[in-house]
């Protein structure tokens, strides 16, 4: 079991659907991340929130919309996705703040997304 919880575990959606991925952590971490991972590839950074503010957007298409309602929760809203967006979406957290990058990322087990 991980300390970062992601729901749902699996999601199948059509290209016209709207859905949301959810992530929760209770480690008191102040940085939260969304990564996308394709098969046999390393995770690719999408977004970073630091102290509930969007800190990094890696030029992600607007059909992906992140939201950080509070320091424990992170959402990823999905709309009008394409089949090539099918992937494992990973949420992660780290201590953040003064620790910056000098603390490990803690990952959830991901949401396996299939766009039909």
Partner 1 sequence: GESVGLHLPTLSVQEGDNSIINCAYSNSASDYFIWYKQESGKGPQFIIDIRSNMDKRQGQRVTVLLNKTVKHLSLQIAATQPGDSAVYFCAEAPTSGTYKYIFGTGTRLKVLA
**Residues that bind partner 1 in the complex, under the rule CB under 8 A:** 2, 4, 6, 31, 33, 40-43, 45, 48, 50, 55-56, 90, 92, 94, 96, 100-102, 104-110
CB of 63 to partner 1, least distance (A): 22
Pairing of strands 31-37, 73-79: unpaired
Q: Which of 28, 32, 24 is nearest to 52 (CA)?
A: 32
Please, what is the minimum distance in Å from the beta carbon of residue 80 to partner 1?
26
Closest CB to partner 1 among residues 17, 103: 103
Give the β-pairing of 10-13 and 111-115.
parallel
Radius of gyration of the chain (CA): 13
Q: What is the DSSP string of 51-63?
A: TTEEEEE-S--TT
Q: Give 72 or 109: the residue with its C-beta nearer to partner 1.
A: 109
Residue with Cβ nearer partner 1 (62 or 102): 102
Report the residue number, 64 or 107, with the smaller CB distance to partner 1. 107
Nearest approach in angstroms of CB 97 to partner 1 is: 10
Q: Least distance in Å: CB of 9 to partner 1? A: 9
Say how far apart CA 22 and CA 37 lie, in whole Å: 16
Q: Distance (Å, rounded) from C-alpha 2 to C-alpha 7?
A: 13
């Amino acid at each position: 079991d991980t300390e970062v919880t992601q729901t749902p575990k699996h999601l199948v959606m059509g290209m016209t659907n709207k859905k949301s991925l959810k992530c929760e952590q209770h480690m008191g971490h102040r940085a939260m991340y969304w990564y996308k991972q394709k098969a046999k590839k390393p995770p690719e950074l999408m977004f970073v929130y630091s102290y509930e503010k969007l800190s990094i957007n890696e030029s992600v298409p607007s059909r992906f919309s992140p939201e950080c309602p509070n320091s424990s929760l992170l959402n990823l809203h999905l709309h009008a996705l394409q089949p090539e967006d099918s992937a494992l979406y990973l949420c992660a957290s780290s201590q953040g703040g003064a620790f910056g990058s000098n603390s490990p990322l803690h990952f959830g087990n991901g949401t396996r997304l299939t766009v039909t």
